[in-house]
Amino acid sequence: MKSPVSSKIVPIFYLLIGLIFLCFPQIPHKDITNVDNIIGEEVSLVFTREIGVLFIVIAILIRQIYSTSESVYRLMNTTFLVVMILLSSISILMYFLIPSHPLQLIVTTLINIAFFFVYLWERK
């Protein structure tokens, strides 16, 4: 049986984004926040790194589930659909909550929606 496309592209995407958030937190941080004081900036950089760790954990979990059992991975398709919808919703919410309206959040939303459709396509 052919391996699912999502078992490769979704973990790679989240691993790369997680590494950027973890190793270079200033890149996503400068577009999302407008913190003027140094202490607040340090705390928000740590929070950005934590998001990177979360993305790396998501990538590892998705890949490990597939590596352990392809049938379990296919059974979890609905769970992955719900996770992609939740991640898209969070990005949209953050877009409207952050005064600068960073374009990166819209791009992230579109990517998560694309992953949603990949998982939906794999259900068939």
Cα–Cα distances in angstroms (integers) from residue 11 to residues 8, 19, 60, 103, 113, in the given order: 6, 12, 7, 23, 15
- Give tens-digit pLDDT for 70-114: 999 999 999 999 999 998 998 888 888 877 777 888 888 999 999
- Domain ranges, ordered by start, for the chain: 6-122
Write down the pTM of the prediction.
0.82
* AA identity, residue 95: Y
